[in-house]
C-alpha cells in the first residue's frame, strides 16, 4: 500500500512554474501584474493532476491519501494572491495602483487664452475655483490668461489641450464673465488635485470683479483707471505703484500688513468674542485716490508699495 502526500508535488511544481514565468517575463517584456493575474489557475490544474496521477498509478493498490497541509496552505496562499490580483484588475483598481506607482509630478504651460475687448464691454467678472492667481492691469484691449499647472501623472502628454479646458468666457450685455475651471481629475482614493498658477491680464480702464474661493490672489493694478472689487479671497497682496491715485479699502479683514503709517485702521466692535482678534476695516490711499480697489471678507490683506 502506497502513501502519497498530496500538496508536496503541487507546491514544488507551482514554485518552478512561477519562477520560470517571472524569469522569462524579464526577457519577453511581460507586465508583472499581468503575470500575477493570469498564472494562478495553473495551481488548481497542478493540484488536480497530482491527485488524478496518484489514483491512476496506484489503481492496482489500495490508495491512501494524506495531505501535506503546510504545502497546501502555501499553494492556497499563492492562489489567493493570484485571485486578488485578478479581482483588482477586473474592478479597475489594479490599473489605478499601476498609474499611481508610475506617476511623476510634471509641470505644463496653460493653453493660451485671449478675448478681444470692444467698447460694449464695461465690466469683467472673474470667478475662481481655489487656485492661486495674479491679476494685472494692462494697456492692451483684450483679456488674456497664461501660466502653468502641475499635476501628478504617468502620462507625458498635456492634460489640457485647449483654453476651453481651463476657462470659459461668455459675454452677457456689457459684462464679460470668466469662469475658471478645475483641472480634470478622476474621483478615487489614489487621485490628487493639481495646482494652477495663472496670471490674468485685464484692460486698465474696465471695471473688474473677482469672486474667490478662499484662494490667494496677487493684484498688480499699475496705473489703474477704473474700480476693482474683490470678494472671498483668503489672502490678497496688492502691489501698488506710488502716485497711482488708488484707494485700497479692506473690509472685514482679520489682518492687514504694510509699512508703518500706510493703513488707516478701524476695528469693528465684537462683544461676542472679546478674546479673539477683531475684524478690521483699513484704508490706504495713493495720490488723489480716484480709483478704488475694494477687498471684502479677506483673512489677510498685504500692501506692497513701489516707487
Task: Note the pTM of the prediction, 2 decimals.
Answer: 0.66
Q: Kindly give, in sequence order, each residue whose CB lies less than 8 Å from that of residue 167, ignoring residues fewer than 6 positions away.
A: 113, 145, 178, 179, 180, 181
Question: Is residue 274 very low, low, confident or very high in pLDDT (cuts 50, 70, 90)?
Answer: very low
- For the stretch 90-137, pLDDT in tens is 665 655 655 555 566 778 899 999 999 988 999 999 999 889 899 999
Among 51-60, 229-238, 289-298, the minimum mean pLDDT is found in 51-60
CA distance 180 to 57: 75
Provide the residue ranges of all domains of the chain, joining segments of one domain with +: 3-101, 104-306
Q: Tell me the chain's radius of gyration from C-alpha atoms.
A: 34
CB 43 within 8 A of CB 85: no
Distances 232 to 37, 174, 238 between C-alpha atoms, Å: 51, 24, 15
Selected residue with higher pLDDT from 188 and 301:
301
Grid coordinates representing 24?
Answer: 522569462
CA distance 230 to 228: 7
DSSP state at residue 274: T
- For the stretch 208-255, pLDDT in tens is 999 998 899 999 998 899 999 999 999 999 998 877 889 999 999 989
Grid coordinates representing 73?
Answer: 496552505
Distances 90 to 43, 77, 100, 215 between C-alpha atoms, Å: 20, 20, 17, 39
Question: Is residue 16 very low, low, confident or very high in pLDDT (cuts 50, 70, 90)?
Answer: confident
CA distance 102 to 191: 13
CA distance 57 to 138: 92
The mean pLDDT value of the chain amounts to 79
Amino acid at each position: 500500500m502506497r502513501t502519497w502526500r498530496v500538496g508536496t508535488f503541487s507546491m514544488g511544481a507551482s514554485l518552478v512554474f512561477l519562477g520560470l514565468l517571472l524569469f522569462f517575463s524579464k526577457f519577453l517584456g511581460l507586465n508583472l501584474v499581468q503575470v500575477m493575474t493570469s498564472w494562478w489557475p495553473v495551481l488548481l490544474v497542478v493540484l488536480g493532476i497530482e491527485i488524478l496521477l496518484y489514483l491512476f498509478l496506484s489503481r492496482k493498490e489500495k490508495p491512501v491519501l494524506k495531505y501535506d497541509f503546510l504545502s497546501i496552505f502555501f499553494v492556497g496562499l499563492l492562489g489567493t494572491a493570484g485571485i486578488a490580483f485578478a479581482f483588482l484588475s477586473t474592478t479597475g483598481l489594479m490599473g489605478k495602483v499601476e498609474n499611481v506607482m508610475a506617476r511623476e509630478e510634471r509641470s505644463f504651460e496653460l493653453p493660451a487664452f485671449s478675448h478681444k475687448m470692444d467698447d460694449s464691454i464695461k465690466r469683467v467678472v472673474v470667478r475662481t475655483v481655489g487656485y492661486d492667481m495674479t491679476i494685472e492691469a494692462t494697456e492692451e484691449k483684450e483679456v488674456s490668461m497664461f501660466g502653468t499647472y502641475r499635476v501628478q501623472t504617468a502620462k507625458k502628454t498635456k492634460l489640457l489641450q485647449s483654453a476651453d479646458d481651463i476657462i470659459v468666457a461668455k459675454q452677457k450685455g456689457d459684462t464679460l464673465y470668466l469662469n475658471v475651471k478645475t483641472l480634470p481629475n478622476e474621483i478615487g482614493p489614489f487621485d490628487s488635485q493639481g495646482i494652477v498658477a495663472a496670471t490674468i491680464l485685464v484692460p486698465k480702464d474696465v471695471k473688474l470683479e473677482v469672486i474667490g474661493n478662499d484662494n490667494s490672489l496677487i493684484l498688480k493694478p499699475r496705473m489703474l483707471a477704473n474700480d476693482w472689487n474683490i470678494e472671498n479671497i483668503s489672502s490678497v497682496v496688492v502691489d501698488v505703484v506710488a502716485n497711482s491715485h488708488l484707494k485700497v479699502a479692506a473690509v472685514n479683514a482679520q489682518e492687514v500688513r504694510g509699512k508703518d503709517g500706510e493703513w488707516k485702521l478701524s476695528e469693528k466692535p465684537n462683544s461676542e468674542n472679546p478674546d479673539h482678534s477683531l475684524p478690521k476695516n483699513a484704508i490706504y490711499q495713493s495720490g488723489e485716490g480716484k480709483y478704488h480697489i475694494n477687498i471684502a471678507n479677506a483673512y489677510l490683506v498685504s500692501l506692497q508699495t513701489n516707487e
